[in-house]
Amino acid sequence: MILVAGSANLDFVVRANHIPQPGETVLGRDFKTFPGGKGANQAVAAARAGGIATHLLAGLGADAFATPIEASLQEAGVVLHAVRVTDQPTGTAFICVSDDAENAITVAPGANAALAPEHLPPLAGFTHLLLQLETPVASVTAYAQAARAQGVCVVLNAAPAQALPDALLAAVDILVVNEGELATVARHQGSIAECLEKIQVPTVVVTLGHHGACARVQGAWVLQPAFAVTPVDTTAAGDTFCGALVAALSQGQDMAQALQQASAAGALACTQLGAQSSIPAAADVATFMESQAPHSAQAVSQLRQFCGLPA
């Protein structure tokens, strides 16, 4: 079983020609609301990956914004451990998606900020705990330390980017970051390889957008070039990657297999609008992977070069 502890938001999404610059007003077009939040997104992604029971610990307000989030989690088969908060609204995110599929996101944490160390449910039966940073870092640290003490594999998606306390990093088995988050955690602006040398976590996975993904596992490198898709909305692509990655690892797949599954799921998520609404089912990921040609040696070589590894 997988336990995800993290945020649950209702996303307010507007499409526009481009993302506004400071002081600029942009006339948008389509507006919709979608269930989101990094914790909830990753739980849905893990559940939809198939075959793994997935639970979510999240804070929700006593308001109508919580209803579509709960419905989405139930539809995906996620078991919700809800912390009900009466003095804060359910978390919200305000997202502008441009025509070239980029996005700008502002999050109002609301009830997510109420998650406390004592809210962690019993960990018996869980193999993996997946965490992010849209909830209080003190609680994230306490959850990681409790899981480590009980032999549960701790996976941290260090997003949004921020410097991390040593106590948290010391309790993490697998760290998942993008390029910007990697530089923040490493406190270094060099190559991917140089930054990874400065992080003392057994396994670090780095998502690299259209370049693909890489992982350093106990000093050994695993490289996964990107799958080519035409993006519509990149919201939740990273969350889909994280949930699918942990689901694959919990099923006993090695890192190369897990990176491939996660990269395919994340790519497919870019082809649909919204957060949880864009997360693919296992059957869709399998069909997509069957349609893809094996990555060429040149693609792997280019990824090695991008990461700053010797040819």
Q: 146: part of which helix (H) or strand (E)? A: helix 137-149
Q: Look at residue 143 and give its three-state secondary structure.
A: helix
| 239 has catalytic annotation | yes
> At CA 37, angle to CA 36 and CA 41, rounded to 5?
70
Q: Which two tokens stand for residue 43?
A: 């739980």
CA distance 1 to 6: 16
Closest by CA position to 309, among listed 233, 196, 199: 196
- Counting Cβ atoms within 10 Å, is residue 87 exposed (0-12), middle (13-18) or buried (19+)? exposed
CA distance 261 to 248: 7
Q: Look at residue 55 and give its three-state secondary structure.
A: strand
Closest by CA position to 302, among listed 200, 195, 208: 208
Q: Which two tokens stand for residue 2?
A: 């997988």
Catalytic one of 63, 233, 239, 254: 239
Contact 165, 142 (CB under 8 A): no
- Counting Cβ atoms within 10 Å, is residue 258 exposed (0-12), middle (13-18) or buried (19+)? buried
Amino acid identity for residue 263 in this structure: S
Q: Which two tokens stand for residue 200?
A: 């003392």
Q: Which two tokens stand for residue 279?
A: 């997360």
Q: Look at residue 253 and give its three-state secondary structure.
A: coil
Q: Which two tokens stand for residue 120?
A: 């962690």
Q: Which residues are catalytic?
A: 239
